[in-house]
Structure 1
């Protein structure tokens, strides 16, 4: 099995690195139609990778 991820995000500030895999943690707090998202993507991806 091969799992391939791509990243076109805005980057992760150093102060958030330890928390990015927690559910609902978002780098951009201004949830709007341009950025979207709920902060679940990395948490779900981590669960799949650990399975």
Structure 2
């Protein structure tokens, strides 16, 4: 799913249900937090794997 498709989908959802702009903003923040968390876990597991291979 490209960035354009996601933006279009979000705009469609916003148009379908007015008054949920704040809710989508909150969800976006939690999604970004989850993404950061998963990236941290990936980096940690990669470094552990490298340490074990040495």
Which band: TM-score by shorter chain? 0.3 to 0.5
Structure showing greater Rg = 2
Answer 1 or 2: which has greater helix percent.
2
Which TM-score applies when normalising by structure 2? 0.32
> Does 1 or 2 have the higher relative contact order (CA < 8 Å, sep 6+)?
1
